[in-house]
Amino acid sequence: MITGSQFDRTYRSGDKFTGADLEEQQMQFLYHDGKRYHFMNTSSYDQLELTEEQVGDAVNYLTENQMTDMLLFQGRPIGVSLPNFVNLKVARRIRAQRRHGIRRHQTDHPGNRVCPSGAPLHRRRRNPED
């Protein structure tokens, strides 16, 4: 589970397996120091440092002091789950001309390009005299 390797094996119907030693803990994301992401267990106050590879796609949506669920295998972190909804600060707004109208995008704090909710993707061209 840690390396992510896969293999093909054939098992008989009577074969038994021991369950994986998985544990899920609620962790608070503290900060990113440029190389590692720092998390704290909210019940024991133990801190963990993870690389960008260990955090995965969650790096694009982490904000300081955000609560996450961390999956541990034999005490080692193997995955970070974010809440269903996250609040991100708009850092930059981009307005691009398109053939049939204007398409607007925004860049959130981590640098992801997103469409603003509620804003139409296409608008009719405005009259140049307005």
Name the residue range of residue 96's domain.
Answer: 88-124
Spatial neighbors of 88 by CB under 8 A, at least 6 apart, are 61, 63, 108, 109, 110, 112, 114
pLDDT in tens, the chain (130 residues): 566 677 788 888 888 888 888 899 999 999 999 899 999 999 999 999 999 988 988 888 888 899 999 998 888 888 899 888 877 776 666 665 555 555 555 655 555 655 555 443 333 344 444 4
Is 59 in the same domain as 76? Answer: yes
Number of domains in the chain: 2
The per-residue pLDDT for 68 is 93
Q: Is 57 helix (H, G, I), strand (E, B) or coil?
A: helix
Is 72 in the same domain as 113? Answer: no
Residue 4 falls inside a structural domain: no
Residue 77 falls inside a structural domain: yes
Amino acid at 70: M
The per-residue pLDDT for 121 is 39
Residue 48 falls inside a structural domain: yes
